[in-house]
Amino acid sequence: MDRIHITGGTPLNGVIPISGAKNAALPLMIASLLTGETLELVNVPRLADIASLSRILGNHGVDHMVVGKRPGQTTETGQTVRLTASNVIDTTAPYDLVSTMRASFWVVAPLLARFGEAKVSLPGGCAIGTRPVDLLIMALEKLGAQIEIDGGYVVAKTKNGLRGGEISFPKVTVGGTHVALMGAALAYGTTVIENAAREPEVVDLAECLIKMGARIEGAGTPRIVVEGVSRLHGARHEVLPDRIETGTYAMAVAMTGGDVTLEDTRADLLHSALDVLATTGTEVTSTDKGIRIRRNGAGIAAVDVTTDPFPGFPTDLQAQFMALMTLAKGRSHIRETIFENRFMHVQELARLGAKIRLEGDLAVVEGVERLKGAPVMATDLRASVSLVIAGLAAEGETQINRVYHLDRGFEALEAKLGRCGAEIRRVRT
Ligand code: UD1
């Protein structure tokens, strides 16, 4: 298994291009199942999760074509992918494929909406809490689906197609909102989604569905109204920038010090995180190229943070922010409200010398003067990258084991950081 070795202590200086958002590309690729025509997606990141989903879609019969290199592109710039679901031969998504990634469960919605049936294994993914799919199933039932759980599979059917309905989520769910949107797009009649997720990735999916002929209003607000249409057509859509990758590198610069411009990204995708970062004493400036992050020798101020659905502070940046707070002057309180088991990075950060106490959903971080490199273990996607950030700021060498988690969500991580002066390398074993 690959390892990443980091020799910490060097400030980051330079430019980091931000990739297309993994969490937008996944539902967009799944939306290709809604039409027999070609969906062309631009700026799709090269990630293990994208490859896994391509395999799942391929198993349904979706043709998948990666457009060749064009002038100005490198092996690190996002790829253009053409997906054509004109010949779906299988509406089952088997356990061995779905168990590696939770988002693949979302294929249930377009399969059901277009073909009237789907059999999808209950999902796997990061081990960050129980992460049930009860609300996704509830949404499909509100659209008239009959659903049974049989042998670890969700078996969904509809006799005469899905019908519009009222879906009121008791809790904000990104996946639930994606599923509701895809189901409602091809349902007969009007669907109202209340307490919808407002994440930029939901808006991106809605915009792509609109290009495909869907009638959707209110994406980005808590109330989305969908007028179902009988068929959707092909479209071309560019995946929005990855706000989690943006925030991760911003926190890395805040932690090591330096001056980095994050290119091809937008501050409005992560205002809450950038506001918090500014409060820690980091300079954050929006430029026409992207976002410039600067911190000179001044210390890092301790700031309290609570994770929340968008536009709140993202749970997917909680581990990275905690890494930053381990070097803050004073005590910071970090509360995780979205997932109940998302503190697995705490014991690994402690191996580097961090002082963190857990009290239920609250982490109390006492800033220390310095971290010291050590061997650590990546546990989930975002936790892994928090160890990378901490390693960049720690004295001496940090070895990160089980890096396949990083490859699921961070495109060209070592190359992007290496070009900004980080001493980071992958050791293939
Ligand atoms: C998505 C993101 C993930 C992010 C999360 C929250 C993708 C591929 N993944 O995950 O990176 O951390 O949003 O921003 O986009 N819940 C239920 N029942 C359900 C569904 C969810 O109780 O049926 C709960 C979950 O356990 C969690 C909360 O709702 O506590 C939010 O989960 P949700 O927004 O659905 O997360 P995902 O869409 O899986």
Supply angle C-alpha 159, 186, 160, rounded to 5.
15
CA 341 to chain CA centroid, Å, is: 17
CA of 372 from ligand 1 middle (Å) equals 34
Question: Which tens digits make up the pLDDT trace of 74-89?
Answer: 777 789 999 999 999 9
Residues of the chain with CATH 3.65.10.10: 26-238, 241-395
pLDDT of 140: 98
Measured from the Cα of 129, ligand 1's closest atom is 26
CA of 251 from ligand 1 middle (Å) equals 23
CA-nearest residue for atom 22, ligand 1, is: 132
Active site residue 126: yes
CA of 351 from ligand 1 middle (Å) equals 29
On the question of pLDDT at 125 being above 50, the answer is: no
Question: CB-hemisphere CA count at 13 Å for 332?
Answer: 27
Supply angle C-alpha 59, 60, 66, rounded to 5.
70
Strand-pair partners of 427: 3
pLDDT of 317: 97
Cα–Cα distance, 63 to 38 (Å, whole number):
9
On the question of pLDDT at 8 being above 60, the answer is: yes
Q: What is 241-395's CATH topology?
A: UDP-n-acetylglucosamine1-carboxyvinyl-transferase; Chain (3.65.10)
Question: Which tens digits make up the pLDDT trace of 393-418?
Answer: 999 999 999 888 888 889 999 999 99
On the question of pLDDT at 340 being above 90, the answer is: no
List the catalytic residue out of 126, 254, 356, 385: 126
pLDDT above 70 covers a percentage of the chain that reads: 98
Residue 127 binned pLDDT confidence (cut-offs 50, 70, 90)? very low
- Domain 26-238 belongs to what architecture? Alpha-beta prism (3.65)
On the question of pLDDT at 128 being above 60, the answer is: no
On the question of pLDDT at 11 being above 70, the answer is: yes
On the question of pLDDT at 327 being above 50, the answer is: yes
pLDDT of 320: 97
Ligand 1, residues at Cβ distance < 6 Å: 23, 26, 102-103, 129, 131-136, 171, 173-176, 201, 315-316, 338-339
Strand order in the sheet with 63-66: 63-66, 79-84, 38-44, 235-238
On the question of pLDDT at 424 being above 50, the answer is: yes
Question: Which tens digits make up the pLDDT trace of 362-382?
Answer: 999 999 999 999 999 888 888
> How much is the mean pLDDT over the chain?
94
Cα–Cα distance, 154 to 147 (Å, whole number):
7
On the question of pLDDT at 388 being above 50, the answer is: yes
**Per this entry, what is the length of the chain?**
429
Cα–Cα distance, 93 to 270 (Å, whole number):
33
Q: Tell me the average pLDDT across 52-56.
A: 95
Question: Which tens digits make up the pLDDT trace of 243-298?
Answer: 999 999 999 999 999 999 999 999 999 999 999 999 999 999 999 889 999 998 77
Tokens representing 320?
A: 């990275």
Distances (CA, A) of 323 to 333, 407, 418: 13, 20, 20
Cα–Cα distance, 275 to 46 (Å, whole number):
29
